[in-house]
């Protein structure tokens, strides 16, 4: 997301003060630009949207854009497979749509959520959400999974308990018989960065009824630090 035009004088003064007091040669000073995220269409198909980034170093862009392209290519190959299987089984037309949202982008961290929607002709389709999270440093770009952020089993248990307690305070949005063991916090858990910590993303049906959609629960960093 690009910086808005028309900054006030006070903001310009503030940014100048920050730059004066920033350590020379630090990763933060060198990597302060936010990524410019643009929409692309895989094989020119409007239903297969994917992200590409600009405004970062060549090394950062190379790594992130490669990952994003590989991910959309996998989604498209999945679509082709499901399409062929549906044809063999006589199910008819398969609807498959791919979209994304940029959830966090501050020049140091980047989070993008990808949504794969599929409908084989039923009353409603199914959506699978996947996250791609990056930490940008001076020398490298690192894709980080939940277990890279919440590193120990003890801390992941704290996150699970926090989420469980949240569901009990908002009972109308979650399964009435939801148990702690039903909440999985591991390498495969989807999430994105926030200003205060992370947001854990669950799949439809995973911890709540379909009408709730994709459950997202904010977890402050103090829970797992």
- CA geometry: angle 132, 137, 142, nearest 5 deg: 35
The yes-or-no verdict on residue 10 having pLDDT over 90 is no
* CB under 8 A, 24+ apart: contacts of 101-104: 102/1, 102/37, 102/51, 103/131, 103/192, 103/193, 103/199, 104/192, 104/193, 104/194
CATH number at residue 205: 3.90.640.20
User: Which of 110, 144, 178 is the last residue in one of the domains?
Assistant: 144
Q: Tell me: the pLDDT tens digits for 95-134?
A: 999 999 999 999 999 999 999 999 987 777 899 999 999 9
Q: State whether 39 and 64 are in the same domain.
A: yes
pLDDT at 51: 98
pLDDT at 17: 30
The yes-or-no verdict on residue 90 having pLDDT over 90 is no
* Average confidence (pLDDT) over 157-185: 97
Residue-by-residue DSSP string for 5-19: SS--HHHHHHHHHHH
Q: Tell me: the pLDDT tens digits for 42-82?
A: 999 999 999 999 999 999 999 999 999 999 999 999 999 99
pLDDT at 2: 41
Q: State whether 10 and 95 are in the same domain.
A: yes
Give the chain's domain count: 2
Q: State whether 26 and 126 are in the same domain.
A: yes
Q: Tell me: the pLDDT tens digits for 130-164?
A: 999 999 998 889 999 999 999 999 999 999 999 99
Q: State whether 155 and 50 are in the same domain.
A: no
32 — pLDDT class (breaks 50, 70, 90): low
Q: State whether 77 and 157 are in the same domain.
A: no
Distance CA 138, CA 143 (A): 14
Q: State whether 157 and 127 are in the same domain.
A: no
Distance CA 179, CA 182 (A): 5
CATH number at residue 118: 3.30.565.40
Element (H, E) at 148: helix 146-149
Report yes or no: 106 and 33 within 8 Å, Cβ to Cβ: no
Q: State whether 120 and 184 are in the same domain.
A: no
Q: State whether 38 and 81 are in the same domain.
A: yes
HSE (side-chain half, CA atoms, 13 Å) at 52: 11
* Average confidence (pLDDT) over 178-202: 98
pLDDT at 110: 98
* Average confidence (pLDDT) over 214-220: 98
- pTM surpassing 0.85? no
Q: Is the dihedral of CA 16, 22, 28, 29 positive or negative?
A: positive
For residue 113, the enclosing domain spans 1-144
Q: State whether 124 and 182 are in the same domain.
A: no
Report yes or no: 151 and 144 within 8 Å, Cβ to Cβ: no
Could you tell me the two tokens for 8? 């006030």
User: Which of 144, 167, 201 is the last residue in one of the domains?
Assistant: 144
User: Which of 144, 173, 189 is the last residue in one of the domains?
Assistant: 144
Q: State whether 93 and 14 are in the same domain.
A: yes
Q: State whether 82 and 3 are in the same domain.
A: yes
Q: State whether 134 and 150 are in the same domain.
A: no
């Amino acid at each position: 997301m690009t910086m808005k035009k028309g900054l006030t004088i006070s903001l310009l003064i503030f940014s100048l003060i920050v730059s004066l007091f920033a350590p020379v040669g630090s990763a933060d000073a060198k990597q302060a630009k936010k990524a410019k995220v643009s929409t692309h269409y895989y094989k020119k198909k409007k239903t297969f949207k994917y992200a590409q980034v600009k405004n970062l170093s060549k090394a950062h862009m190379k790594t992130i854009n490669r990952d994003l392209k590989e991910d959309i290519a996998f989604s498209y190959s999945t679509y082709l497979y499901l399409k062929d299987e549906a044809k063999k089984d006589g199910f008819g037309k398969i609807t498959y749509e791919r979209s994304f949202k940029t959830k966090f982008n501050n020049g140091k961290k980047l989070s993008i959520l990808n949504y794969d929607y599929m409908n084989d002709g039923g009353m409603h389709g199914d959506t699978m959400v996947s996250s791609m999270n990056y930490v940008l440093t001076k020398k490298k770009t690192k894709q980080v999974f939940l277990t890279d952020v919440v590193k120990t089993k003890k801390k992941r248990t704290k996150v699970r308990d926090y989420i469980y307690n949240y569901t009990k305070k908002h009972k109308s949005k979650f399964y009435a018989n939801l148990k702690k063991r039903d909440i999985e916090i591991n390498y495969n858990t989807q999430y994105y960065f926030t200003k205060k910590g992370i947001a854990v993303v669950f799949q439809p049906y995973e911890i709540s009824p379909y009408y709730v959609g994709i459950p997202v629960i904010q977890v402050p960093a103090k829970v797992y630090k």
